[in-house]
Amino acid sequence: MLTIRNLMVFYENALALNDLSLKVKEGEIVGVIGSNSAGKSTLLNTIAGLTLDLKIRERRKGGERITVMGRMAYLGKDITEMLATERVKQGIVLCRERHPIFPESNVLENLRIAAYLQPKARFRKMVMYIFELFPQLKGLRRKRAGFLSGGEQQMLAIGMALVAAPKLLLLDEPLLGLSPAIQTRLVETIEEIRNSLGITIIIAEQFARPVLPMIDRGYIIENGMLILTGRGKELMNNPEVRSAYFGV
């Protein structure tokens, strides 16, 4: 579904991604694991087209602060120069880190805003699915999103991504700042989304322990470089991964 070859991203003189290549097959859950500042968010932003959009805005101001090199192909089509808005229409949807919701709007209004490109019939169907997936949101549908807990905001953020009709769903640090119980619930939900909707998922996380058991394949990155890849269970049993991410 997605092939990335020799991707490099520079912010001025800082190298954010260094010659990174990866593949994602349709129907997979693929994990991108790394510590803070490893390059995870840059990778997902680049796949979603946000890095390209930022580069274009910088160029309009007369600057060349951002450089992107390498190639990306999605469903057999080169998307390296495709704008983020077009990528969304093609089914590449990013759920950004730290619960990107509209705090002054209620839960239902947030979902409606995210579904602006979708037919009303599909929106109604997806809202019903989201409320089945996250039952607590149904009772909060008229509550302002800014008053939701961190876990509830993350559920809403994932729901907003789902109503945008993703074929490839990019989840950036969905477990960040959540309690272990909520993390476990969200991991189960991510698996349910893949199994029930057939959506391909890339999840970028620094919390490897809850993520590795559910992924089909994983990529470990540090300082923007790919250092290790393998199936989830292989990485779980790798002594270097256990030492770096499990503290054992």
Closest listed residue to residue 137, CA positions, set 116, 120, 117, 162: 162
Say if residue 247's pLDDT is above 60.
Answer: no
Average pLDDT of span 16-36: 94
Other CB atoms closer than 10 Å to residue 63's CB: what's the count? 11
Say how many residues make up the chain: 248
Average pLDDT of span 197-214: 92
pLDDT tens readout for residues 124-167: 999 999 999 999 999 999 999 999 998 999 999 999 999 999 99
Separation of alpha carbons 205 and 175, rounded Å? 7
* Contact partners, residue 244, CB within 8 Å, separation at least 6: 35
| Between 247 and 144, residue with greater pLDDT | 144
Q: For tokens 């089914």, name the residue.
A: 91
Sketch the domain layout of the chain as residue ranges. 2-246
Q: How confident is the model at residue 176 (pLDDT cuts 50, 70, 90)?
A: confident
Q: What pLDDT, on the 0 to 100 scale, is given for residue 244?
A: 79
b or e along 94-126 (b: 16 or more beta carbons within 10 Å of the residue's beta carbon)?
A: bbbbebbbeeeebbbebbbebbeebeeeebeeb
> Is-above-0.85 flag for pTM?
yes
Closest listed residue to residue 11, CA positions, set 224, 172, 225, 156: 224
Q: What pLDDT, on the 0 to 100 scale, is given for residue 225?
A: 94
Separation of alpha carbons 245 and 243, rounded Å? 6
Say if residue 77's pLDDT is above 60.
Answer: yes
- As a whole number of Å, the end-to-end CA separation of the chain is 35
Q: What pLDDT, on the 0 to 100 scale, is given for residue 63?
A: 66
* Contact partners, residue 54, CB within 8 Å, separation at least 6: 66
The dotted CATH code for 2-246 is: 3.40.50.300
- What value does the mean pLDDT of the chain take? 91
pLDDT tens readout for residues 110-127: 999 999 888 889 999 999
| Tokens (6 digits) for 159 | 């729901």
Query: Could you write out the DSSP letters of every residue in 204-236?
Result: EES-HHHHGGG-SEEEEEETTEEEEEEEHHHHH
Q: What pLDDT, on the 0 to 100 scale, is given for residue 209?
A: 87
CA 204 to chain centre: 6
